[in-house]
Structure 1
Amino acid sequence: MARKSIEQRLAELEAQRTALKARLGKQERANDTRRKVLLGALVLHRLETGHDAFSRNLVGWLRRELPGFLTRSNDKALFDDLLKQKTVDATENSNGAEASS
């Protein structure tokens, strides 16, 4: 059995290194995506079920921050229900203020 040359062995090791780096990158992206999904699920859960001060503050914060954070119209459409609620709340507040005046 012929021994591989040093150059061949180095080439094989470099190929293995490249493959391992690619796998590591893929795993890191998968972990990042999973973290985002889980964090989003927690936020959505609080929006749907929370009626405490934290949840109300969270809603306000999202309504302030999301419009500037989302740049694509398709992404904005995903949050229409949350973002459009702001105008309903503002209308109710202004009507309420007028009624109490």
Structure 2
Amino acid sequence: MARKTIEERLAQLEAQKKALQARLTKQERAADTRRKVLLGAFILDRLTNDGHEEFSRRLADCLRRELPPFLTRDADKALFADILQPSCAAVNNASNRNGAP
């Protein structure tokens, strides 16, 4: 069996490094996606959970204010239409606080 030259060994090590780097990048992307899914699930749970009314109201207000400029595609905006439009209850509560009948 012939011994590999230094250049061949370096090329082999470089290929291994690239493969490991690709695997690391894939793991990082998967972790990032998982974090986003869990955070989204948490937010949606808090928006619909009756046990956290004040937090839910403040969160919904924040999302209505901050999310529209973040969403650039119409399809993305459509996904959040139910969150971005004030609910009837929120409109009624706001008008009641302002003294409207």
Alignment TM class, shorter chain as reference: 0.7 to 0.9
1:61-76 aligned within 5 A: 61-76=62-77
Q: Which amino acid aligns with 2:8?
A: Q
1:15-94 aligned within 5 A: 15-50=15-50, 51-85=52-86, 88=88, 89-90=90-91, 92=92, 93-94=94-95
Note the alpha carbon deviations across 1:42-93, whole angstroms, 9 max, x for none: 000000114421111111101101111111100000011111226x444x44
Size of the aligned set, in residue pairs, is 97
Contact in 1 for aligned 2:64/2:83 (Cα 8 Å): yes
Runs (5+) with no aligned partner, structure 2: none
Give the TM-score of the pair, scaled to structure 2. 0.85
Tell me which residue corresponds to 1:7: 7
Runs (5+) with no aligned partner, structure 1: none
Q: Which amino acid aligns with 2:6?
A: I
Give the TM-score of the pair, scaled to structure 1. 0.85
Stretches of 4+ aligned residues off by more than 6 angstroms: none
Superposed displacement of residue 10, structure 1: 0.3
Superposed displacement of residue 94, structure 1: 4.7
Contact in 1 for aligned 2:64/2:85 (Cα 8 Å): no
Q: Which amino acid aligns with 1:63?
A: R
